[in-house]
Amino acid sequence: MTPDIATLAPSAPAAPPTHPVPDAHGANLYADDTELQALLPLYLPADLCAHLQAPLQRLGALAGGVLDTLALSADKNPPTLEHRTRTGIDAQRIVKHPAYIELERVAFADYGLAAMSHRGGVLGWDQAMPAAAKYALSYLFVQAEFGLCCPLSMTDSLTRTLRKFGTPELVERHLPRLTTQVFDDLWQGSMFMTEQGAGSDVGATTTRAEPDGDAYRLHGDKWFCSNPDAGLSMVLARIDGAPAGLKGISLFLLPRVLPDGSANAYRILRLKDKLGTRSMASGEIRLEGARAWLVGEAGRGFNHMADMINNSRLSNGMRAAGLMRRAYGEALHVARHREAFARRLIDLPLMRRQLLKLLLPTEQARTMLFQTADALRRSDAGEPGAYALTRILTPLIKFRACRDARKVTGDAMEVRGGCGYIEEWSDPRLVRDAHLGSIWEGTSNIVALDVIRAIRREGALPVLENHLRGLMADTPLHPQARTIFGQSLGRALTLAAQVAEAHGRSDSAARQAATGLYHATTAIAMAWEAGRTNSARRMRIAQLVLQQRLMPQDPLAMADEPAWLAQLLEPPAQAPREAVDSIDLF
């Protein structure tokens, strides 16, 4: 692996530590994140965790330096669509900025982020890696570049869905292209579902699939298509004569180039002018009799696509977690190095309170990411109950972490003051990108309703409860804290059960119920992590989540700063050693 890209995009020199405008550029985002280093052994086998330390260190350095420079450049130079060659031949092409192509090369080729779940041999590891490994690396990458993480996730997710539901012949034909690390041979993935009249309401899909020998010909318009020039796309369409609604929808694999080398019959009509993810192309597609191959069973397309969507939703949660970590890291750096009124910002009590508000959701999302990734690993291994657990954790992280990322990135921008609003810094990009997470792959409402569906259809609530009570039993907790953890979990479960049992009559409470489950889950899992890593600091964060998110609050009660708060903002290693089960904030 040779991420020798520094020569192509030299990083700007970081400001000296004494400069009045602090700049974290050049930081190693892994080396600086000692909490991540402490957590990974809980979620990865020891040998793999040790093996990944070098790639994580390298990627952390790249993400804090050269990748960030490339991402800034790619964001300012969005892709364009060309329709003809200079000799007048009709041949559509998306022209990507060299900075974006370099980012693609690092993610797909050097680090194999889209391949590592599907085969051995990536980063010198002879087996496919568990989801937690992929997400640990991607969590660093996304802190530099968000837009590209969509094509990365779609390539990874398309490969997963194809392997699960495609015919052996279809898999054999395409797997090498999807998982190669030879950049010029790679075919990326995409998914074309959304139509003008069918976004959340996928059952309204009108794209037609006309049988044609061993394949089908697709006709119709797709309204939102990210990575529209991908080599392979998963497309939802209705086979001629199929019933209306979701039951009539099938899933198809659409290659950009047909087996005989000719271009498939679809066009990119135009590219979208987007608020965020400006580095990556999203377009509109017209299918004009394009040849596509059925994936899985006819009429079960939505069901099969749900597998791809869920994998993408987890990736979305990971991206939100990464955006928050970047935003928090930047804010912390500014607070430690910027001075006002002859004091460091971090020494001002009101600033510490502001930073704490960034820290809690950032840590919640990280814990939820690794909990969900581990549930997915166990589900794929066929462990009883793990499917239902994954099925509920996935929409929970997609819903809440993506919403939290909007606020955290916005509030972190304010910590930098006026510079935070200037496009030379990472903050505006993070804010713009963060807003997309809650919209694509299911809006907040749709994903919150999916949490309720997972409870109703998969019986996910008792599985989640078992999981969380198991974690609590495995955690050294102060007796009073244990009681409060148990009570809070009970209340969150009761609300979610009530909403699910109301069969649609209480849908207006779906977001409230999902939020409650998210807070209870992250607080308990974080307390478990605290016990496993012997971190009183993490235990305090876990208890703060309960206290501030699930327990009744008096908005007019005086909020004095506890003596230990400053410790939460210091590197964990500097926190005084305290027994985890001595912590009780209640």
Ligand X SMILES: Cc1cc2nc3c(=O)[nH]c(=O)nc-3n(C[C@H](O)[C@H](O)[C@H](O)COP(=O)(O)OP(=O)(O)OC[C@H]3O[C@@H](n4cnc5c(N)ncnc54)[C@H](O)[C@@H]3O)c2cc1C
Binding site for ligand X (CB under 6 A): 190-194, 199-200, 224-226, 274, 277, 282, 436, 439-443, 445-446
Kindly tell me which of 192 and 216 has the beta carbon lying closer to ligand X: 192
Kindly tell me which of 314 and 446 has the beta carbon lying closer to ligand X: 446
**Minimum gap (Å) between residue 79 Cβ and ligand X:** 13
Joined tokens for residue 444? 């907040």
Cα(373)–Cα(240) distance, integer angstroms: 39
Kindly tell me which of 103 and 122 has the beta carbon lying closer to ligand X: 103
Kindly tell me which of 59 and 193 has the beta carbon lying closer to ligand X: 193
Q: How many Cα atoms sit within 13 Å of 291 on the Cβ side?
A: 14
**Minimum gap (Å) between residue 508 Cβ and ligand X:** 9
Cα(99)–Cα(156) distance, integer angstroms: 22
Kindly tell me which of 3 and 395 has the beta carbon lying closer to ligand X: 395
Joined tokens for residue 420? 């935070």
**Minimum gap (Å) between residue 364 Cβ and ligand X:** 23
Kindly tell me which of 25 and 278 has the beta carbon lying closer to ligand X: 278
Joined tokens for residue 422? 């200037």
Length of the chain measured in residues: 586
**Minimum gap (Å) between residue 228 Cβ and ligand X:** 8
Nearest 10 degrees: Cα torsion 561, 567, 569, 574: 170
Kindly tell me which of 430 and 520 has the beta carbon lying closer to ligand X: 430
**Minimum gap (Å) between residue 441 Cβ and ligand X:** 6
In degrees, rounded to 5, the angle at the alpha carbon of residue 105 between the alpha carbons of residues 102 and 109 is: 165
Residue 424's Cβ-count burial label (10 Å; 0-12, 13-18, 19+) is: exposed
Kindly tell me which of 333 and 398 has the beta carbon lying closer to ligand X: 398
Pairing of strands 249-255, 343-344: unpaired
Q: Are 209 and 292 in contact (CB under 8 A)?
A: yes
Kindly tell me which of 147 and 361 has the beta carbon lying closer to ligand X: 147
Cα(213)–Cα(220) distance, integer angstroms: 20
Cα(573)–Cα(205) distance, integer angstroms: 54
**Minimum gap (Å) between residue 509 Cβ and ligand X:** 12
Which residue of the chain is nearest ligand X when measured via CB? 199
Joined tokens for residue 64? 């804090």
Which residues are CB-neighbours of 15 under 8 A, at least 6 positions away?
Answer: 21, 22, 23
**Minimum gap (Å) between residue 420 Cβ and ligand X:** 24
**DSSP letter string, 128-174:** PPPHHHHHHHHHHHTTT-STTHHHHHHHHHHHHHHHHHS-HHHHHHH
**Minimum gap (Å) between residue 519 Cβ and ligand X:** 22
Q: Are 282 and 442 in contact (CB under 8 A)?
A: no
**Minimum gap (Å) between residue 190 Cβ and ligand X:** 6
Kindly tell me which of 302 and 485 has the beta carbon lying closer to ligand X: 302
Residue labelled with tokens 């993506």: 402
**Minimum gap (Å) between residue 451 Cβ and ligand X:** 13
